[in-house]
């Protein structure tokens, strides 16, 4: 088999491989087939050996496992040492991380150690050729990394022509998770390096989290409210419409910043990217940051009092009017037909 | 005990409020029309440094890398209360990606002298990479704590509360340390009026021209370092020191969809829902 390799640095959340990492294993397999490479995953933590088969089932050929008590809590420097160890011993051409808070903490530290190129928050990865216009040098089979910048107003394509590995963090939910095939088999490589005590530079004293209350990513119907809703109290209208339609509540950044609703409901560039069958934007003007997170929805309904609001540019149905009148009518119409 | 605090800050185009006015006819954003501002999370980092100095005493240095016009950010830092400021500007720094930027910033921090806490925003709103903080921490060989909302110092130990998905965690590390400050940290205090009056005349040597020698004794000459001052090789800076290259930029075009107008009446909305059911959207 080829010794070329595409490596995914997997993240463990609540004792299982994070969805984003499984999405990336699927994407990694796609890139690997174009490169004639195999796909590996790095899994670090305590008691994580049992997760290797899940990575294999999703498409990994090799799983690099560092299962050590000192890795029980995530620490940038110790995890970076583990990733560097596997990169140095296996020399993958491409290394991909989820653009989660942990991935975005870890990847730049590793990039700095390896002097590797790193592109943050990619929304697209592909393999392709590139000719440097300055040196006329031609490069074959580079990782083409696309990402939004300038608040989502541009999409940049970035390559890393010479340094290896080529590294990216990739946004959650933009790659499609492949089917799991429990009958697949793969190789497991155990971490045999050292984790000296001076690499454990941070100690977690306390952690408080609440279970995620919203599942925007998987929702078929999303009803979002913006500044136009006016207050946290009036945001109840959005909750009621979502309930009447069997949907999930979303929000614009402005609504979140104004305290109308919690941040985990935020749709957009810095929130969640959604692709529901139906997206209703009520009182949302439609900044480019918001549009970046919802423009792929199959059907978009915009409700806004301002007929010039940019959201109407991408809406399939536009309702110009006061949402405090329109939304109750919609709730009634939804209930009337048992919908 | 007093601490040496270093804030890394960046001047950025205001990309957070792109509305209709900044849009061009063809549906793309006119980036040149966006005003240059203090990167919002870097301003929170400066505030965190100011409140640390209030509590424990110490000294705050603000460093920015950028074109000569970034001197404005340094004046702004002085208005807010910084003790000293430093502009890293050199044509050789141009085209730097995050790695090459971290090389320059780390070298400048080191050259300024002993430090206890380096603070910067988690990310800048133009690139949104969140990479420069961790890369600088690695170059300085110090621990990093990212997404920090508040910190306390005690002797040679830092205890920080950091935002994590759905909550927070409290993390401890030994000084020196680099922290990146999250958007949920306390907002910046306003600039001081007296400091504004005093420092609005502060200039870099390039801005001051012949007046530079007159500004220096008044403490109004803004320090500027280039590649040679930092003793860096050209291969590690700017475009040459950057492993990544941008090969294509596409402006996002907000395509106009055919929008069907629905009347905001009972009949209009009932009709819409009926149509959605027929299309199996509902």
Return residues 239-268 of A near B (CB < 8 Å): 245, 264
Decide if A288 and B29 are in contact by the 8 Å CB cutoff: yes
B129/chain A closest Cα distance in angstroms: 5
Decide if B169 and A204 are in contact by the 8 Å CB cutoff: yes
Cross-chain CB nearest to A339 (options B174, B265, B282): B282
- Segment A192-243, tens digit of pLDDT: 988 999 999 999 999 998 877 788 888 999 999 999 999 999 999 999 999 9
Q: Measure the N-to-C terminal CA separation of chain A; round to a whole number of Å.
A: 55
Same domain, A166 and A49: yes
Please answer whether residues B144 and B176 qualify as being in contact, where contact means their C-beta atoms are separated by less than 8 angstroms. Answer: no
Please answer whether residues A147 and B246 qualify as being in contact, where contact means their C-beta atoms are separated by less than 8 angstroms. Answer: no
| Residue A149: band (very low, low, confident or very high) from pLDDT cuts 50, 70, 90 | confident
Compute φ and ψ for A312, nearest 5 degrees: -70, -20
For residues B241 and A168, give the distance between their C-alpha atoms in angstroms, rounded to a whole number: 18
Compute φ and ψ for A299, nearest 5 degrees: -135, 130
Question: Has residue B252 been placed in a domain?
Answer: no
Whether the predicted pLDDT of B265 surpasses 70: yes
- Span A104-128, average pLDDT: 96
Chains A and B form CB pairs within 8 A to the count of 259
For residues B220 and A22, give the distance between their C-alpha atoms in angstroms, rounded to a whole number: 56
Could you give the percent of chain B with pLDDT greater than 70? 93
What is the pLDDT at residue B27? 58
Closest to A327 (Cα-Cα) out of A278, A283, A290? A283
Which range has the worst mean pLDDT, A16-30, A257-271, B224-238?
A: A257-271
Strand partners, A64: A42, A189
Residues of B in contact with A157 (CB under 8 A): 246-250
Cross-chain CB nearest to A206 (options B17, B169, B256): B169
Residues of A in contact with B169 (CB under 8 A): 204-208
CATH number at residue B153: 3.40.50.620
Residues of B in contact with A329 (CB under 8 A): 264-266, 269
Which range has the worst mean pLDDT, A286-295, B138-147, B163-172?
A: A286-295
For residues A181 and B19, give the distance between their C-alpha atoms in angstroms, rounded to a whole number: 46
Any chain B CB within 8 A of the CB of A209?
A: yes
- Span B159-170, average pLDDT: 93
Instruction: Show Cβ contacts of residue B18 under 8 Å, excluding neighbours closer than 6 positions.
Output: A151, A153, A287, A288, A289, B29, B34
What is the pLDDT at residue B104? 98
Cross-chain CB nearest to B139 (options A112, A121, A330): A112
Decide if B29 and A150 are in contact by the 8 Å CB cutoff: yes
B203/chain A closest Cα distance in angstroms: 29
CATH number at residue A263: 3.40.50.1220
Q: If you measure CA to CA, which chain A residue comes closest to B102?
A: A112
Decide if A153 and B144 are in contact by the 8 Å CB cutoff: no
Whether the predicted pLDDT of B239 surpasses 50: yes
What is the pLDDT at residue B28? 64
For residues B216 and B207, give the distance between their C-alpha atoms in angstroms, rounded to a whole number: 13
Same domain, A176 and A258: no
Question: Has residue B266 been placed in a domain?
Answer: no
The CA-CA-CA angle for residues B124, B129, B130, to 5°, reads: 70
Q: Tally Cβ neighbours within 10 Å of residue A66.
A: 26
Residues of A in contact with B270 (CB under 8 A): 333, 336
Same domain, A146 and A268: no
Count of domains forming chain B = 1
What is the pLDDT at residue A54? 97
B144/chain A closest Cα distance in angstroms: 7
Quote ipTM for the complex.
0.90
What is the pLDDT at residue B31? 67
- Span B240-251, average pLDDT: 90
Instruction: Show Cβ contacts of residue B280 under 8 Å, excluding neighbours closer than 6 positions.
Output: none
Compute φ and ψ for B24, nearest 5 degrees: -90, 170
User: Virtual CA dihedral for A17, A22, A23, A28, nearest 10 degrees?
Assistant: 130
Cross-chain CB nearest to A203 (options B171, B269, B272): B171
Decide if B282 and A285 are in contact by the 8 Å CB cutoff: no
- Segment A248-265, tens digit of pLDDT: 999 999 999 889 998 889
Tokens of A121: 């928050």
Whether the predicted pLDDT of A1 surpasses 60: no
Any chain B CB within 8 A of the CB of A334?
A: yes
Whether the predicted pLDDT of A102 surpasses 50: yes
Q: If you measure CA to CA, which chain A residue comes closest to B17?
A: A287
For residues A93 and B190, give the distance between their C-alpha atoms in angstroms, rounded to a whole number: 49
Residues of B in contact with A107 (CB under 8 A): 131
Q: Which of A25-29, A268-272, A296-300, B246-250 has the highest mean pLDDT?
A: A25-29
Q: If you measure CA to CA, which chain B residue comes closest to A121?
A: B129
- Segment A304-326, tens digit of pLDDT: 999 999 899 899 999 999 999 99
Decide if B262 and A318 are in contact by the 8 Å CB cutoff: yes
CB burial of A133-160 (b: ≥16 within 10 Å; e: otherwise) equals eeeeeeeebbbbbbbbbbbbbbbbbbbb
CATH number at residue A184: 3.40.50.620
Count of domains forming chain A = 2
Any chain B CB within 8 A of the CB of A114?
A: no
Same domain, A149 and A56: yes
Compute φ and ψ for A116, nearest 5 degrees: -95, 155
Please name the residue ranges forming H helices in chain B: 40-56, 71-80, 98-112, 132-140, 193-199, 205-208, 212-215, 227-230, 266-278
Q: If you measure CA to CA, which chain A residue comes closest to B129?
A: A120
Q: What order do you get walking across the sheet with A278-282 strand by strand?
A: A248-251, A221-225, A278-282, A299-304, A317-320, B260-262
- Residues spanned by the domain of B111: 3-236
Mapped onto helix, strand or coil, the DSSP state of residue B83 is coil
B73/chain A closest Cα distance in angstroms: 19
Same domain, A155 and A36: yes
Closest to A220 (Cα-Cα) out of B165, B166, B280? B280
Return residues 117-156 of A near B (CB < 8 Å): 117-121, 130, 132, 144, 148-156
Decide if B272 and A112 are in contact by the 8 Å CB cutoff: no
Question: Has residue A210 been placed in a domain?
Answer: no
Q: Measure the N-to-C terminal CA separation of chain B; round to a whole number of Å.
A: 64
- Residues spanned by the domain of A124: 5-199
Question: Has residue B8 been placed in a domain?
Answer: yes
Question: Has residue A140 been placed in a domain?
Answer: yes
Same domain, A37 and A110: yes
- Mean pLDDT for chain A overall: 93
What is the pLDDT at residue B231? 97
Decide if B244 and A337 are in contact by the 8 Å CB cutoff: no
CB burial of B89-115 (b: ≥16 within 10 Å; e: otherwise) equals bbebbeebbbbbbbbbbbbbbeebeeb
Rg (CA), chain B: 23
- DSSP 8-state code for residue B87: E
Determine the angle formed by the axes of helices A101-114 and B98-112, rounding to 10 degrees. Answer: 80
Whether the predicted pLDDT of B193 surpasses 90: yes
What is the pLDDT at residue B282? 86
Whether the predicted pLDDT of A339 surpasses 50: no
Please answer whether residues A113 and B134 qualify as being in contact, where contact means their C-beta atoms are separated by less than 8 angstroms. Answer: no
Pairing of strands A187-190, B157-164: unpaired
Decide if A153 and B252 are in contact by the 8 Å CB cutoff: yes
Rg (CA), chain A: 23
Decide if A321 and B264 are in contact by the 8 Å CB cutoff: yes
Residues of A in contact with B126 (CB under 8 A): 149-151
Pairing of strands A38-45, A5-9: parallel
A183/chain B closest Cα distance in angstroms: 34
- Mean pLDDT for chain B overall: 92
- Span A87-92, average pLDDT: 97
Mapped onto helix, strand or coil, the DSSP state of residue A254 is helix
What is the pLDDT at residue B25? 65
| Residue A85: band (very low, low, confident or very high) from pLDDT cuts 50, 70, 90 | very high
Decide if B268 and A319 are in contact by the 8 Å CB cutoff: yes
Output the DSSP codes for B240-266.
TT-S-EEEEEEEPP-PPP-PEEE-SSH
Question: Has residue B162 been placed in a domain?
Answer: yes
Q: Tally Cβ neighbours within 10 Å of residue A89.
A: 12
């Amino acid at each position: 088999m080829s010794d070329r390799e595409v490596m995914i640095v997997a993240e463990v959340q609540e004792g299982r491989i994070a969805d984003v990492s499984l999405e990336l294993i699927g994407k990694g397999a796609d890139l690997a087939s174009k490169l004639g490479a195999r796909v590996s995953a790095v899994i670090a933590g305590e008691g994580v050996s049992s997760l290797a088969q899940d990575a294999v089932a999703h498409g990994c050929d090799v799983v690099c496992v560092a299962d050590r008590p000192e890795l029980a809590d995530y620490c940038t420097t110790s995890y970076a040492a583990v990733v560097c160890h596997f990169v140095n011993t296996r020399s993958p051409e491409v290394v991909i991380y989820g653009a989660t808070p942990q991935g975005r903490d870890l990847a730049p530290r590793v990039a700095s150690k390896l002097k590797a190129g790193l592109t943050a928050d990619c929304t697209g990865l592909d393999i392709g050729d590139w000719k440097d216009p300055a040196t006329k040098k031609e490069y074959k089979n580079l990782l083409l990394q696309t990402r939004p910048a300038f608040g989502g107003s541009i999409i940049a394509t970035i390559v890393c022509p010479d340094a290896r590995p080529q590294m990216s963090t990739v946004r959650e939910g933009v790659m499609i998770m492949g089917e799991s095939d429990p009958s697949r088999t793969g190789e497991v490589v155990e971490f045999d390096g050292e984790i000296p005590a001076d690499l454990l530079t941070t100690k977690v004293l306390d952690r408080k989290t609440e279970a995620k209350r919203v599942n925007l990513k998987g929702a078929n119907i999303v009803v979002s409210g913006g500044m136009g809703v006016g207050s946290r109290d009036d945001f109840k209208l959005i909750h009621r419409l979502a309930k009447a339609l069997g949907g999930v509540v979303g929000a614009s950044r402005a609504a979140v910043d104004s305290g109308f609703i919690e941040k985990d409901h935020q749709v957009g560039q810095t929130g969640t990217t959604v692709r529901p069958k139906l997206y209703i934007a009520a009182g949302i003007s439609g900044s480019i940051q918001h549009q970046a997170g919802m423009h792929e929805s199959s059907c978009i309904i915009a409700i806004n009092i301002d007929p010039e609001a940019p959201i109407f540019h991408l809406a399939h149905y536009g309702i110009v009017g006061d949402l405090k009148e329109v939304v109750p009518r919609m709730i009634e119409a939804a209930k009337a037909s048992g919908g | 005990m007093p601490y040496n605090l270093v804030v890394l800050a960046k001047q950025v185009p205001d990309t957070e409020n792109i509305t209709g006015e900044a849009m061009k006819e063809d549906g793309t954003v006119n980036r040149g029309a966006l005003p240059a501002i203090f990167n919002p999370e870097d301003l929170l980092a400066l505030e965190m440094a100011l409140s640390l100095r209030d509590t424990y005493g110490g000294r705050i240095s603000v460093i920015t890398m950028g074109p000569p016009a970034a001197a404005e950010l340094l004046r702004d830092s002085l208005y807010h209360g910084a003790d000293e400021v430093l502009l890293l500007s050199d044509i050789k720094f141009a085209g730097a990606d995050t790695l090459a930027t971290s090389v320059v910033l780390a070298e400048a921090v080191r050259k300024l002298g002993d430090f206890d806490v380096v603070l910067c925003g988690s990310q800048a709103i133009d690139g949104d990479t969140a990479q420069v903080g961790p890369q600088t921490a690695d170059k300085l060989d110090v621990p990093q704590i990212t997404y920090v909302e508040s910190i306390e110092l005690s002797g040679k130990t830092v205890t920080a509360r950091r935002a994590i998905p759905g909550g927070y965690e409290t993390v401890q590390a030994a000084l020196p340390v680099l922290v990146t400050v999250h958007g949920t940290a306390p907002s910046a205090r306003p600039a001081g009026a007296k400091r504004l009056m005093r420092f609005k005349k502060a200039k870099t040597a390039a801005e001051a021209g012949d007046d530079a020698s007159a500004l220096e004794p008044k403490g109004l000459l803004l320090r500027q370092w280039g590649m040679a001052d930092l003793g860096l090789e050209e291969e590690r800076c700017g475009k040459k020191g950057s492993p990544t290259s941008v090969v294509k930029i596409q402006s996002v075009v907000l395509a106009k969809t055919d929008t069907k107008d629905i009347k905001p009446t009972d009949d209009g909305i009932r009709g819409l829902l009926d149509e959605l059911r027929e299309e199996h959207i509902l």
